[in-house]
Amino acid sequence: MRRTLYLLAAFLAPTLGAGSSAASAQSKVVILSTTTSTQDSGLLDVLVPMFERTSGYSVKTVSVGTGQALALAARGEADVALVHASSLEKQYVADGKMHNRRLVMYNDFVLIGPAEDPAGIKGMAKVAEALKKVAGARARFVSRGDKSGTHVLELGLWKLAGVEPKGAWYIESGQGMGQTLVIANERAAYTLTDRATFLAFQQRVKLPILVEKDRLLLNVYSVMEVNPANGPRVNAAGGKAFADFMVSPATQAAIKSFGVSMYGQALFVPIAGKTEEEIGG
Amino acid sequence: MELIWDGIRQAFLLLLGMDREVLAITWLSFQIAATSTGLALAVGIPLGTLIALTRFPARALVVSLINTGMGLPPVVVGLFVSIFLWRGGPLGFFELLYTPAAIVIAQFVIAAPIVTGLTLAAVQQIPPMFRLQMVAIGASRGQLLWLLLREARLPMLAAVMAGFGGVISEIGASMMVGGNIRGQTRVLTTATVMETTKGSFDVAIALSVILLAMTFLVNYLLTALQQRRRPS
């Protein structure tokens, strides 16, 4: 019996120790609330160690949909947010929950679908009109349906198209971008995806790009600091350090070269210091 | 099919090549599951034995609650443990969310009712005559308890296996309270989900194979212990 207890203690020590050491070094831990796309593309695996090395902070990355990422930040459960849903972001800034919104980078969304293109949208310049045709043809469309940045953008586009997406043709996956792409591929359906995830899934997903390069399809990421008033123990200094890091020249250079060796093209375009009007041309 | 073979091959390569990240994830998964199962045993065995041997009002209610607890959905546990551990939550000042300790807590909540319920059943299935006989030949209270637990050790090892199996395979709670943070709280199940969403199906399969192999090994050792000497 005693031996069992010792064994137990031996297991407990390291696991629980990690918790208490995190508590004592509280101000050295930054909780970053971000979206799945930054994590799944592998970008954070490059940037986070860079930040930890130069700043001495250690980062806990919680990657969830943009909706949840912002909701957690608004409750003070994170110190800094890196997300991509400008309409939602502006709302949180206006409510005073988030501070100092700064643009970091963008990539773009593309509308993909079956090569047979039953709705006949290939090559259209206006994405909203393309969606209108998809709805008109009642062609299958897979939506994220998870309040992610991609989903928020998609809903905005349907509104612009004057269509309320509903019916058997409109499939809500409720899952991440990767899973949603796989579902769209299996069901030979249209879907809206960010280019980075689309490139990462080229081996598995055979749907071609049908509509791209509409300025409405720009996917802008920004970084925001959490208002310390949102909850107890918000690490405002750490959050600001991470936000500053994201827009620093060295980080912006790393973003610019990220993905080139793997996909032959960069996945993100750095835009620190610019405004939305400047990039939307 | 080809994908599955590729995955199994990759699992061997990752293990044989001593991929440090995979080894660390595997070890962390084992440590967390072993700790939470250990804690669940420390609480569940005495509690289950106590309830089995005593009669008190509302006992049926307590037993039904424990039996319900044996099927607690991990995501529900994860959600509630998260809310308690949030910085703004009642236990926020411990700063435990997104640490291995948080996963241990959630898994303990999942495993404790399983161990309690199975211990309860194991001790209760011993015929009442056994107790009377032992008392008749002069066993003290402590000796009686020891003999009862000895008698129930076969089904109780099953309780250990069920508890461990429940937590090592669990994903919802680990994801929510752990956050799947690289190098800190990434365990085999959460890593498998992440690799799947990233489209790295081969790595996901490799991780599943490692998880299965580890669960098998633990159960094999426990079964060997259980079957070592069959009581007559």
Tell me the nearest-neighbour CA distance from B65 into chain A, angstroms: 27
Chain B residue closest in CA terms to A180: B197
Please report residues of A whose CB lies closer than 8 A to that of B98. Answer: 31, 60, 62
Query: What would the pLDDT profile of B33-67 be if each residue is shown by its tens digit?
Result: 999 999 999 999 999 999 998 999 999 999 999 99
Chain B residue closest in CA terms to A177: B197
B80 interfacial to chain A (CB closer than 8 Å): no
Report how far apart the first and last C-alpha atoms of chain A are (Å, whole number). Answer: 72
Residue range(s) defining the domain that contains residue B100: 2-227
Residues in a beta bridge with A176: none
Q: CATH code at B213?
A: 1.10.3720.10
Domains A29-106+218-279 and A108-217 share a fold: yes
Q: Pick the closest to residue A78 from A60, A65, A96 (CA basis).
A: A60
Answer yes or no: is B232 within a domain. Answer: no
- What homologous superfamily does CATH list for A108-217? Periplasmic binding protein-like II (3.40.190.10)
Residue whose entry in the numeric block shows the structure tokens 């299996």:
A186
Note the maximum CA span of chain B: 66
The mean pLDDT value for B9-17 works out to 79
Contact between A178 and B198 using a beta-carbon 8 Å cutoff: yes
CB A226 within 8 A of CB A236: yes
Answer yes or no: is B54 within a domain. Answer: yes
Instruction: Give me the total of CB pairs closer than 8 Å, taking one residue from chain A and one from chain B.
Output: 98
Contact between B96 and A19 using a beta-carbon 8 Å cutoff: yes
Residue A1: what pLDDT? 47
Domain count, chain B: 1
Contact between A19 and B102 using a beta-carbon 8 Å cutoff: yes
Q: Torsion angle of alpha carbons B128, B131, B136, B139, nearest 10°? A: 180
- How far is residue A262's CA from residue A196's CA, in Å, rounded to a whole number? 11
pLDDT tens by residue, chain A, 281 residues: 455 545 555 555 544 444 444 443 457 999 999 988 788 788 999 999 999 999 999 999 998 888 889 999 999 999 999 999 888 999 999 999 999 999 999 989 999 999 999 999 999 999 999 999 999 999 999 999 888 889 989 999 999 999 999 999 999 988 888 889 988 998 999 999 998 889 888 888 999 999 999 989 998 999 999 999 998 899 999 999 999 999 999 999 999 999 888 888 888 999 999 888 887 64
Residue B148: what pLDDT? 87
pLDDT of residue B89 exceeding 50, the answer is yes
CB B95 within 8 A of CB A239: no
Residue A21: what pLDDT? 41
B150 interfacial to chain A (CB closer than 8 Å): no
Give the domain A29-106+218-279 fold: D-Maltodextrin-Binding Protein; domain 2 (3.40.190)
Answer yes or no: is B65 within a domain. Answer: yes
Length of chain B: 232
Answer yes or no: is B193 within a domain. Answer: yes
Task: Tell me the domain boundaries of chain A.
Answer: 29-106+218-279, 108-217
- How far is residue B73's CA from residue B172's CA, in Å, rounded to a whole number? 8
Residues in a beta bridge with A80: A32, A225
B178 interfacial to chain A (CB closer than 8 Å): no
Residue A17: what pLDDT? 45
Contact between B98 and A76 using a beta-carbon 8 Å cutoff: no
pLDDT over 90 for what percent of chain B? 56
B38 interfacial to chain A (CB closer than 8 Å): yes
Give the dihedral sign, CA B28/B29/B30/B36.
Answer: positive
Q: Pick the closest to residue A189 from A123, A127, A111, A128 (CA basis).
A: A111
Q: Pick the closest to residue A93 from A85, A81, A101 (CA basis).
A: A101
Residue whose entry in the numeric block shows the structure tokens 């990752």:
B14
Which one-letter amino acid corresponds to residue B156? M
The 8-class DSSP code of residue B152 comes to T
Residue A278: what pLDDT? 82
User: B185 — alpha (psi -120 to 50), left (phi > 0) or beta?
Assistant: alpha
3-class secondary-structure state, position A97? coil
Query: What would the pLDDT profile of B163-193 be if each residue is shown by its tens digit?
Result: 999 999 999 999 999 988 888 899 999 999 9
Please report residues of B whose CB lies closer than 8 A to that of A39. Answer: 194
Answer yes or no: is B210 within a domain. Answer: yes
Which one-letter amino acid corresponds to residue B59? R
ipTM: 0.70
C-alpha triplet A96, A100, A105: angle, nearest 5°: 125
Backbone angles phi, psi at A145, to 5 degrees: 60, 30
Strands (E), chain A: 29-34, 58-63, 80-83, 98-112, 141-143, 170-172, 190-194, 209-211, 218-226, 269-270
Contact between A62 and B179 using a beta-carbon 8 Å cutoff: yes
DSSP letters along A134-191, please?
HHHTT--EEE--S--HHHHHHHHHHHHHT----STTEEE--S-HHHHHHHHHHHT-EE
3-class secondary-structure state, position A258? coil
Query: What would the pLDDT profile of B187-211 be if each residue is shown by its tens digit?
Result: 999 999 988 877 777 788 889 999 9
Closest CB to B38: pick one of A11, A179, A201.
A11
Please report residues of B whose CB lies closer than 8 A to that of A62. Answer: 98, 179, 181
- How far is residue A75's CA from residue A227's CA, in Å, rounded to a whole number? 9
Closest CB to B87: pick one of A22, A176, A231.
A231
Which one-letter amino acid corresponds to residue B6? D
